[in-house]
Amino acid sequence: MKDMDDQIPRTLPIQSATFSNPINAEIRRAAATGIYDIRGGGAKRKVPHFDDLLFLGASVSRYPLEGYRERCDTSVTLGTRFAKKPIELDIPITIAGMSFGALSGPAKEALGRGASAAGTSTTTGDGGMTPEERGHSTKLVYQYLPSRYGMNPNDLRKADAIEIVVGQGAKPGGGGMLLGQKISDRVAEMRTLPKGIDQRSACRHPDWTGPDDLEIKILELREITDWQVPIYVKVGATRPYYDTALAVKAGADVVVMDGMQGGTAATQDVFIEHVGLPTLSCIRPAVQALQDLGVHREVQLVISGGIRTGADVAKALALGADAVAIGTAALVALGDNDPKWESEYQKLGTTTGAYDDWHEGQDPAGITTQDPELAARLDPVDAGRRLRNYLKVMTLEAQTIARACGHNHLHNLEPEDLCALTMEAAAMARVPLAGTSWYPGKEGF
Amino acid sequence: MQTYDLEADGLRGLNSSLQAQNAETNQTRWEIVNPKGSHAIAVGLDAPIEVTVKGSTGYYCAGMNQQATIKVEGSVGPGVAENMMSGQVIVDGDASQYAGATGHGGLLVIKGNASSRCGISMKGIDIVVHGNIGHMSAFMAQDGNLVVCGDAGDALGDSLYEARLFVRGSVKSLGADCIEKDMRPEHLDILRDLLARAGSDAKPEEFKRYGSARQLYNFDVDNAAAY
């Protein structure tokens, strides 16, 4: 009888797509601890992204520019609407806001060094401006956040631009928390709070509510800074058309739109994965709002959230953005999640490429930490050089694509240069599905 | 005395003139007439000058003030003296929401009442309100002193950090992690000094002190119901 049983074909074990191993592991972890998972980074789920778009390149109707010979400009000026001193950048790739506190001092210095060497700007983050960061950044954007940690008029006037942060893509509508283990003496002093306690970053500004108030807040900041520097408004992507329109109405020089793949130092995983819009889906509505108000290119649009390559840059610009901002990619360029630290990632229960407990302050790469020994692992000069190289490569890649499409400036890329590989991407980017002249929502197919 | 007609000469000219003053200036006294509720009056000053606003103002009067003494002979809109670093701001009338929000230093005196969220996220400023304050005042207040000679509204000191709150009248309710604390001699000294500087004849002994229970300083899932 047993021999017969062995001969009966068996049903293969089938893993549930709904109750997958990662889901079940999270249920067990939640049941054991009673607390949700907190992590850094952005959305890890697969969402329609720039990979779902392709450039068409030159053809009979379009001729390309010669690589290595014919010029393809990359410069961009941000803040041309009201500021006396707009920011002029050599490349349309900026460094997004990341705080001293979330990041180590050497990491912030490296970001400034790399950005400056590549001819672009970097951004402070929550917790204020450090002298090292200002000193190593040719162009520094000062974030004006709900917490107002470290905010003071002297630093405000040292900034090359001010970015009013309404939200970020990883957690639109959410604040932040810097856990006590990352609160060194210096971080505590900058934030006017005791060392070692969790520091809550508020989810909304303490002294304004809504677009009408924002307009007055922008007026105040301009009056304090003599209308010298551009004022950006950064929003997490949720209602990109209306948020862009309201930011313009409130007087923004630049709108920064951050999609859900954009990273954060720490927040609940459920927030990161289930709130907000994919970056790809928010560009065209934001551009539409600018066009409807007659200010496209006068009010610049910066897109962030999952930008990794020159192709991503070119695609964002082709859809109408003026520039992009990178955060996670910049950290990877510095050395975050580098395989050389694999044995230490294993000790932390993770692996290269998956390490995201940035809030715990144990980063083997010495980037998302305030531990002096770990932070010393990052040489800001070498790391800054790596970031510069990476920014240069992204720029070269974007130029390569633009020349192939026949454009002598990255800003001449346009939606007509693109097609989509999926229906979802076609609908979001409003470019034709590959091989067709149609996208969902377009009449007349 | 320098007199500036805001209605006739505009906001930019006013603020640029005031911001151009420094420690050596001999234009130490300024009078602003016809404010008519304008926003962002006398913001970003950084000199030991005296500015008197002859009337009521809109949002953010005296925002980010350093060194200057700014007196408003009227009432003020939201965010008066927001993020003040030093100096003094004195309001003869009432103040709208967010008075002294995120202020790092200096003294804000409101001789009337202050609306909701007075002293929100304050980081070292001293605020003395002769009248009452509205709900959610001193929310997430980090440092400094809030003195209320009248009553306080709901949820006073919610999620408070290290700021000290002194209330002479009633408190409608305390916010999360805010408790009444003992009034020690050093607190009476602080109060006495602030009341004197604010021109109040209230007695320090008439006040109660409130502060943080420090139970929410580090995240604990067992405290989730308090959030």
- Assign 3-class secondary structure to B124-174: EEEEEECCCECCCCCCCCCEEEEEECCCECCCECCCCCCCEEEECCCECCE
Q: Does A147 touch chain B (CB under 8 A)?
A: yes
Q: Does A34 touch chain B (CB under 8 A)?
A: yes
Scored b (16 or more CB within 10 A) or e, A327-357 reads bbbbbbbbbbbbeebbebbeeeeeeeeebbb
Report in angstroms the alpha-carbon separations of A103 from A107, A139, A334, B154. Answer: 6, 19, 12, 38
Q: DSSP label at A112?
A: H
* Distance from C-alpha of A373 to C-alpha of A146, rounded to nearest angstrom: 31
Chain B residues whose CB is inside 8 A of the A194 CB are: 161-162, 217
Architecture of domain A48-429 in CATH? Alpha-Beta Barrel (3.20)
Specify the CATH class of B2-226 in words.
mainly beta
ipTM of this model? 0.96
Output A264 or B134, whichever has higher pLDDT: B134
Question: How many residues are given for chain B?
Answer: 227
Q: Does A200 touch chain B (CB under 8 A)?
A: yes
What is the distance in angstroms between the Cα of B76 and the nearest Cα belonging to chain A?
14
**Percent with pLDDT over 90 in chain B:** 94
Chain A residues whose CB is inside 8 A of the B140 CB are: 200, 202, 206
Q: DSSP label at A64?
A: P
pLDDT at A441: 86
pLDDT at A2: 63
A/B interface, count of CB pairs below 8 Å: 100
Q: Give the residue on B whose Cα is nearest the Cα of A218.
A: B40
Q: Does A177 touch chain B (CB under 8 A)?
A: yes
pLDDT at B53: 98
Q: DSSP label at A66?
A: P
* Distance from C-alpha of A112 to C-alpha of A123, rounded to nearest angstrom: 9
What is the distance in angstroms between the Cα of B201 and the nearest Cα belonging to chain A?
30
Report in angstroms the alpha-carbon separations of A429 from A19, A411, A421. Answer: 32, 17, 11
Q: Give the residue on B whose Cα is nearest the Cα of A147.
A: B121
B51 CB-near residues (< 8 Å, 6+ apart): B18, B30, B31, B32, B42, B45, B68, B69, B70, B71
What is the distance in angstroms between the Cα of A148 and the nearest Cα belonging to chain B?
7
Beta bridge partners of residue A371, listed in sequence order: none
Chain B residues whose CB is inside 8 A of the A226 CB are: 16, 19
Instruction: Say which residue the tokens 């900041």 belong to.
Output: A221
CB atoms within 10 A of CB A389: 14
pLDDT digits (tens), chain A, 445 positions: 566 778 888 889 999 999 999 999 999 999 998 888 889 999 999 999 999 999 999 989 889 999 888 999 999 999 999 999 999 999 999 999 998 888 999 999 999 999 999 999 999 998 889 888 899 999 999 999 999 999 999 999 999 999 999 999 999 998 877 777 777 888 888 888 888 888 778 899 999 999 999 999 999 999 999 999 999 999 999 999 999 999 999 999 999 999 999 998 888 999 999 999 999 999 999 999 999 999 999 999 999 999 999 999 999 999 999 999 999 999 999 999 999 999 999 999 999 999 999 988 999 999 999 999 999 999 999 999 999 999 999 999 999 999 999 999 999 999 999 999 999 999 999 999 999 999 998 876 5
Beta bridge partners of residue A161, listed in sequence order: A141
pLDDT at A175: 83
DSSP string, chain B: -EEEEHHHH-HHHHHHHHHT--TT-S--EEEEE--TT-SSTT-S-BSS-EEEEES---TTTTTT-BS-EEEESS-B-TTTTTT--SSEEEESS-B-TTTTTT--SSEEEESS-B-TTTTTT-EEEEEEESS-B-TTTTTT--EEEEEESS-B-TTBTTT--S-EEEESS-BS-B-TTEEEE---HHHHHHHHHHHHHTT----GGG-EEEEE--SSSS--GGGGGG-
pLDDT at A3: 66
H helices of A119-175, where? 131-136, 153-158
pLDDT at A443: 77
Scored b (16 or more CB within 10 A) or e, A408-419 reads ebbbebebebbb
Q: DSSP label at A87?
A: E
Chain mean pLDDT for chain B:
96
Long-range Cβ contacts of A358-361 (<8 Å, 24+ apart)? A358/A39, A358/A40, A358/A41, A358/A102, A358/A265, A358/A266, A359/A38, A359/A39, A359/A40, A359/A102, A359/A177, A359/A178, A359/A179, A359/A182, A359/A265, A359/A266, A360/A179, A360/A181, A361/A179, A361/A181, A361/A182
Q: Is the pLDDT reported for residue B163 higher than 60?
A: yes
A381 CB-near residues (< 8 Å, 6+ apart): A110, A113
* Distance from C-alpha of B102 to C-alpha of A5, rounded to nearest angstrom: 75
Instruction: Say which residue the tokens 């809504």 belong to.
Output: A210
Cα-trace Rg, chain B: 18
Angle at A222 between CA B129 and CA B41, to 5 degrees: 40
pLDDT at A155: 96
**B 50-109 → A contacts, CB under 8 A:** 58-60, 63-64, 66, 78-79, 82-83, 85, 97-98, 101-102, 104
Closest residue to B121, CB basis, from A179, A206, A223: A206
Closest residue to A223, CB basis, from B44, B102, B159: B44
pLDDT at B227: 61
* Distance from C-alpha of B144 to C-alpha of B122, rounded to nearest angstrom: 7
Closest residue to B217, CB basis, from A152, A197, A208: A197
Chain A residues whose CB is inside 8 A of the B115 CB are: none
Q: Give the residue on A whose Cα is nearest the Cα of B80.
A: A207
pLDDT at A52: 98
* Distance from C-alpha of A220 to C-alpha of B216, rounded to nearest angstrom: 34
Instruction: Say which residue the tokens 């001010």 belong to.
Output: A162
Q: Does A197 touch chain B (CB under 8 A)?
A: yes
Q: Does A194 touch chain B (CB under 8 A)?
A: yes
pLDDT at A444: 63
Contact A245, A265 (CB under 8 A): no
DSSP string, A379-437: -HHHHHHHHHHHHHHHHHHHHHHHHHTT-SBGGG--GGGEEESSHHHHHHHT-PBTTSS
pLDDT at A196: 81
Is B60 in Cβ contact with A217 (below 8 Å)?
A: yes
Q: DSSP label at A358?
A: G
Global confidence as pTM: 0.95
Is B44 in Cβ contact with A225 (below 8 Å)?
A: yes
pLDDT at B217: 82
